[in-house]
Chain A
């Protein structure tokens, strides 16, 4: 304990962030490869340098509060995954075309609405958080992550395949003004910036993770499609939008 008390933590991030559906004060610090994430009113969690272990600082003998559970499966787990080269998009995701398509966009853009299951091909695999990584240079999605917005029966089945090939990322952009549906492919650079800007918890990354994250996002954007969907924000437009996304991500090559 005396040794732990002497450990000095360097600040990485301090500010308000969303944890478990509420805005709360979050602090992330680092010390010799360890990361420590703390929220107001909860015990801190320490993430091992290799991301293999997360420890509640004061022990978990008394159990975890609701907020602590949210921290554990939120920022603490996301940082542990990042330490292992796995990052997470704030995204809904579906199987469409040649694999999983992640649907990203601002809050209220319609990610969840668009991702609702429709037909034999369009199946939802995530509705909030989609971990992704590069496996032997190929982009993959890892859908076995708790989706807090979905009921138990709608979660990705435990015995279902993972990882899944990630066909691409589709950002839901501003509505089209002419009633038409467009899926426009982004340049690799714009695609990388899209992946970066929709990565969850990136504000908590220390410098080494920021560098690695840039590298992974750049490599992924160079090797898969990243596109922007523009369509009317109406329920009537949904079938056309789903078809356009399916078509775009089914086409071969970048």
Chain B
């Protein structure tokens, strides 16, 4: 588990950076990091995850949608979700947002793992 994925919990929500543009193409999508000029392809599952994240859904809610939509085991859905969000976090394409109504922990917004 990396430092990026360690902070990811079911009640975590993330905000997509304003420096990201995203274009759906069929069931998949392409994402461009305007700051770095780098492009990324997202498959069908990745596209569904990003779509949900952009609505403000928590990772737990996104995971539940994945389980229902793609008929996968919850562990597998959570693992794929954390892997993608961790990758996006490491590249600065998303950032963790404070959980609504939750006390702000000392030293920052990351939840303990």
Contact = CB atoms under 8 A, between A and B. Distances in A.
B9 interface: no
B57 interface: no
Contacts of B30: 189, 192-193, 196, 214, 217-218
A203 interface: yes
Interface of B: 19, 21, 23, 25-26, 28-30, 32, 34-35, 37, 39, 41-43
Contacts of B39: 193, 196-197, 214
Interface stretch (A1-9, A30-38, A204-212): A204-212
B48 to A, nearest CB: 14
Classify the secondary structure of B's interface with A: strand
Interface string A207-233: 100110011011001100000000000
Tier of interface size on chain A:
20 to 34
B39 to A, nearest CB: 5
A193 B43 CA distance: 12
Contact of B29 (A189, A205, A207, A210): A189
A202 B32 CA distance: 12
B32 A187 contact: no
A97 B39 CA distance: 31
A32 B43 CA distance: 36
Interface string A167-202: 000000000000000000001111011001100001
A218 B25 CA distance: 7
A192 B25 contact: yes
Contacts of A187: 26, 28
15 contacts: A13-B37, A187-B26, A187-B28, A189-B25, A189-B30, A190-B41, A193-B39, A193-B41, A207-B19, A207-B34, A210-B37, A211-B21, A214-B21, A214-B39, A221-B25
